[in-house]
Amino acid sequence: MSEQFDVIIVGGGPAGLAAGLYASRMDLRSVLVDRGPLGGQLLNTELIEDYPGIDSILGQELAVKMGDHARRFGLDIREFEPVSEVDAESDVRVVRLESGHELRAPAVILAAGGLPRKLGVPGEAEFAGRGVSYCAVCDGAFFKNEVLAVVGGGDAALEEGDFLTRYASKVHIIHRRDQFRAQPILQDRARANKKIDFVMDAQVREIVGNGKTNAVKYESRGELMELPVGGVFIFVGFIPNSRVLKVHADHDAEGYLVTDPEMRTSVPGIWAVGDVRAQLTKQIATAVGDGTTAAVSASAYVSSLRDKVRASA
Ligand code: NAP
């Protein structure tokens, strides 16, 4: 079965929800699909303190607010509706769902985000869900009074490392270089936290255990060390979900979609916003800006197609 819309939004994080809000306000027949519950990366963030105008809000709470807000303007939101592929057929863009259902529209806004990058070391897959995690908010509470390792040196590693000290007795942040990539404010916070210890210039080589994680092995200055831990939280970046596009769209070396200033990809009728798009930073504020721009641009595109149809009638 297939349904027709003006705009289809794939992904229900801040970028997709902002796009949906604006598209609906502009009276476009708009639908948003997400493979899970609404929120995207908001759901992996405990507290948000850097969204202008809001001192502090739970990620989950902001997700609900953004969803309710978009729904009030008429956005048709479909959660737990995984997309198998996004395709382009002449003037029509097609979003195929795993359910077999098909959504068709002249415009698709891809806000599909991405997934955590894996470290790729022995033991990582074996102990996933048994001490190895990629989400502190989801799994932190299972590690009360345990010693943990956090791998990575970006914003996520430092922020989530700090968060995990609510539960853990000690958190070792293991980073492959001697300098962090994370914002200074997150570094300062982690340095001020007495439960955090830093292991720099260290490459994780293996995660070991016996039924469940009990140590991490890393190499530092030519020496192989073993650190006993009850869990390993991995924050080494992100892989964009751009592969869902069946047609070729320009992307960078890491698979992030390249857009113009209106968030248009190289495929007419397909926009890319938020974490799936190549850009300097991944912030809620920038995601919301991307979504807004794409919705306005897509609205102009849909109107121009309608004008063409009227002119040729
Ligand atoms: P990221 O900024 O890409 O940092 C990834 C970290 O993992 C880097 O320190 C990198 O080391 C390290 N790494 C990568 N591959 C590795 C490997 N194979 N082995 C060991 N270490 C490895 O990723 P992120 O921290 O997940 O953040 C993703 C985006 O979300 C960023 O744009 C970030 O600003 C944003 N974010 C923002 C906030 C916030 O504003 N509060 C919170 C979370 C995330 P090198 O430094 O040596 O490359």
Ligand 1 pocket residue status of 119, Cβ below 6 Å: yes
Asked whether 210 lines ligand 1 (CB < 6 A), one says no
Atom 46 (ligand 1) nearest CA: 181
Neighbours of 305 (CB within 10 A): 15
CA 236 / ligand 1 centre spacing (Å): 5
Per-residue pLDDT at 36? 95
* Active-site annotation holds for 138: yes
Percent of the chain with pLDDT over 90: 93
Q: What is the pLDDT of residue 46?
A: 85
pLDDT digits (tens, 9 = 90+) for 64-97: 999 999 999 999 999 999 999 999 998 899 999 9
Please tell me the predicted confidence (pLDDT) of residue 90: 86
Q: What is the pLDDT of residue 155?
A: 96
CA 249/CA 227 separation, integer angstroms: 44
What is the whole-number distance in angstroms between the Cα of residue 119 and the centre of ligand 1? 12
pLDDT, mean of residues 287-308: 96
Look up the pTM and report it: 0.88
Nearest Cα residue to 270 out of 258, 255, 281, 284: 258
Judge if the beta carbon of residue 163 lies within 6 A of ligand 1. no
* Choice from 176, 206, 280, 283 to test ligand 1 binding pocket (greatest atom count within 8 A of CB): 176
Q: Which helix (H) or strand (E) element contains residue 198?
A: strand 196-199
pLDDT digits (tens, 9 = 90+) for 114-152: 999 999 999 999 999 999 999 998 899 999 999 999 999
| Pairwise CA distance, residues 195 & 180, whole Å | 18
Separation between Cα atoms, residue 194 and residue 177, nearest integer Å: 21
- Quick check: 289 pLDDT over 90? yes
Return residue ranges of the chain for CATH 3.50.50.60.
2-115+238-312, 132-234
Q: Are 178 and 153 in contact (CB under 8 A)?
A: no
155 is catalytic: no
Residue 169: is its pLDDT beyond 90?
A: yes
Residue 45 pLDDT = 86
Give me ligand 1 centre to Cα 188, in Å. Answer: 17
Kindly report the CATH number that applies to the domain delimited by 132-234: 3.50.50.60
Q: Could you read off the pLDDT of 226-237 as tens digits, one per residue?
A: 999 999 999 999
Say if ligand 1 is within 6 A of residue 285 CB: no
135 is catalytic: yes
Q: Atom 4, ligand 1: which residue's CA is nearest? A: 154
Decide whether any atom of ligand 1 lies within 6 Å of the 281 Cβ.
yes
Residue 243: exposure state from Cβ atoms within 10 A (0-12, 13-18, ≥19): exposed
Per CATH, the number for 2-115+238-312 is: 3.50.50.60
The helix/strand/coil state of 213 is strand
Q: Is the CB of residue 170 below 6 angstroms from any atom belonging to ligand 1?
A: no
pLDDT at residue 47, rounded to an integer? 87
Lowest-pLDDT range of 18-32, 34-48, 252-266, 283-297: 34-48
Is there an atom of ligand 1 within 6 Å of 152 CB? Answer: yes
CA distance 156 to 44: 10
Task: Return the residue whose CA atom lies nearest to atom 19 of ligand 1.
Answer: 119
Give the active site residue among 27, 68, 91, 138. Answer: 138
